[in-house]
Structure 1
Amino acid sequence: MGMRIGEMARRAGVSTRALRYYEQHGLISARRGPNGYREYDESQLALVAEIRSLLTAGFTLEDARPFVECLRSGNATGDSCPESVAVYRRKLAELDDQIRTLVARRAEVAAQLAGACPGCTVHVEIRGRRT
């Protein structure tokens, strides 16, 4: 017998709503018991953990699909398949673009500050340290 949605949510550390959402998008699956309740097996816990980890790191639900499929196909990790590596590469490229954009915006704001306040200094905070 599998876990009902409440137990699955508790063990996975997500809401029942999130589980239904993941199921709706085909990332996890549940059997329906004779009473109509969703029943999840243990293997779904690893899939939910993978999805949560990726979402926390800024990936989209669709980005998670290759990682979930990699796990489903019997691999020990979700990132050991070429499709998952391709998602990592694409995400890194997106982040690099965002970083370049932010650096350019920061330079613009720093220049505006320098123009508005000629004696003001601009401090840079990197990983909690102010320079």
Structure 2
Amino acid sequence: MPATHRDRPLGAGRPEREQQARAQRPGYPVPGRFPREANNYRDYDETALGRVQQVRELLGAGLSTEVIRAILPCMESPRDPSVFDGILPETVSALEAERDRLTERIDVLTRNRDAVATYLGELEQRAR
């Protein structure tokens, strides 16, 4: 029976150099920072849990993992100049397009919320 990705530890099959480079990027967990407990679970601190929540919210808003990967370091420390090193014009264009898409989505959601609120207001008036 062939091995599946579930049979391998996270990062298995990736060159060690790539794993090390990934671990050194801002926003990625530091290896060994969250050691395993006796039950083989990791005990994450509030910062890590907040980061997971932030990523889930960004995914829920429709951002791609590529966009999230680009903006996470800036969200953590927006004034750190190193988070802007090596940003390509294509990345800026992709982020601008994503911002515009989110703005359009917010506008649609706002209109829908207002329509529901108006409908509820009418229902309340008629119930009196």
Higher strand share: 1
TM-score class, shorter-chain normalisation, is 0.3 to 0.5
TM-score (norm 1): 0.43
TM-score (norm 2): 0.44
Higher helix share: 2
